[in-house]
């Protein structure tokens, strides 16, 4: 038996297929989010890895911003619950999860059973999100995947004082025209993301072990800056962008097991 979790985010679509032993048999990430062909592309990719299609899937749970529009799902669940559950599976002792996605930042408390506790989120503004970093990478004529490499070469991070994406973009352009190095500008951007995220995390309270999830957790520059800002180590599991899809697949597996025990 196999189950499927799909996380249709604002920026990227992620799929995880599990067998009944909770082993990942296929995963896919497509950098296109809700309202695009991203979900279909990620599904095609995952099904071709798995060697079967919908006929081989016992149950599907959808999560993420675009979950309500995904008709093939047996159930929709909030990304908060799915990130908590997915992280608990990957790092069982994580108690604070900081999820920076394309469009929002969330800080969650996870119980020792993997259930979601309290949470805080910033969803009203792009500042400090993946979108903010995507815009900055474009201005600096680089890719988001390169930001951590540039950050590691910084000597003296510049200061970015604006919290608004549009004003921060103007500040970055001013730093560029003043001749500041790209690594120093990138490191300054990461510090500004870290300060904003740390403020949110402190509102919830930082309980160790702290872990990051979501696409931005792949940026080691942000992880290092946030770890310095909060003064705690931050763990990042492998294939971290799939955490929400994995959590959705684990909830799908619970449902499939319940269905089976009723038969
Ligand atoms: P959502 O669920 O809201 O669609 P994700 O958690 O998938 O968001 O994260 C998307 C963000 O991840 C992008 O906006 C981008 O900034 C960042 N990202 C994606 N791939 C990478 C990478 N290889 N390195 C650094 N950042 C990345």
pLDDT digits (tens, 9 = 90+) for 118-132: 999 987 778 889 999
Is the predicted pLDDT of residue 219 greater than 90, yes or no? yes
* Centre of ligand 1 from the C-alpha of residue 188, in Å: 19
Is the predicted pLDDT of residue 36 greater than 90, yes or no? yes
Is the predicted pLDDT of residue 163 greater than 90, yes or no? no
Q: What is the mean pLDDT of residues 14-41?
A: 97
Question: Is residue 214 within 6 Å of ligand 1 at its C-beta?
Answer: yes
Residues in the chain: 263
Question: Is residue 237 within 6 Å of ligand 1 at its C-beta?
Answer: no
Residue 157: what pLDDT? 96
Which pTM does this prediction carry? 0.95
Question: Is residue 145 within 6 Å of ligand 1 at its C-beta?
Answer: yes
* Centre of ligand 1 from the C-alpha of residue 208, in Å: 24
* Centre of ligand 1 from the C-alpha of residue 130, in Å: 6
Is the predicted pLDDT of residue 75 greater than 90, yes or no? yes
* Centre of ligand 1 from the C-alpha of residue 155, in Å: 26
Instruction: Kindly indicate the confidence band of residue 113, based on its pLDDT and cuts at 50, 70 and 90.
Output: very high
Nearest CA owner, ligand 1 atom 23: 145
Token pair listed for 191 = 């510090």
Q: Which residues does 191 contact at the CB level (< 8 Å), separation at least 6?
A: 157, 160, 225, 229
Question: Is residue 213 within 6 Å of ligand 1 at its C-beta?
Answer: no
Question: Is residue 215 within 6 Å of ligand 1 at its C-beta?
Answer: yes
Q: Which of 66, 98, 79, 77 is nearest to 211 (CA)?
A: 98
């Amino acid at each position: 038996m196999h189950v499927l979790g799909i996380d249709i985010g604002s920026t990227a679509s992620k799929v995880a297929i599990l067998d009944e032993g909770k082993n990942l048999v296929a995963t896919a990430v497509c950098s296109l989010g809700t309202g695009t062909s991203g979900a279909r592309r990620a599904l095609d990719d995952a099904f071709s890895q798995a060697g079967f299609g919908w006929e081989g899937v016992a149950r599907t749970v959808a999560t993420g911003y675009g979950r309500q529009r995904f008709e093939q799902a047996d159930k929709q669940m909030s990304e908060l619950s799915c990130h908590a559950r997915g992280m608990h599976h990957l790092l069982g002792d994580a108690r604070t999860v900081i999820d920076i996605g394309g469009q929002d930042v969330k800080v969650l408390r996870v119980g020792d059973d993997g259930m979601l506790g309290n949470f805080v989120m910033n969803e009203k503004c792009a500042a400090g999100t993946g979108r903010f970093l995507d815009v900055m990478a474009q201005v600096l004529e680089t890719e988001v995947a390169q930001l951590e490499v540039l950050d590691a070469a910084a000597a003296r991070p510049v200061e970015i004082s604006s919290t608004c994406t549009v004003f921060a973009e103007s500040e970055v352009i001013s730093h560029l025209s003043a001749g500041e190095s790209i690594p120093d500008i990138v490191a300054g951007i990461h510090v500004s993301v870290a300060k904003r995220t740390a403020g949110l995390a402190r509102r919830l309270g930082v309980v160790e072990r702290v872990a990051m999830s979501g696409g931005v957790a792949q940026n080691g520059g942000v992880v290092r800056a946030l770890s310095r800002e909060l003064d705690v180590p931050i763990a990042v599991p492998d294939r971290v962008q799939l955490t929400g899809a994995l959590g959705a697949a684990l909830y799908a597996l619970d449902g499939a097991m319940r269905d089976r025990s009723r038969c």
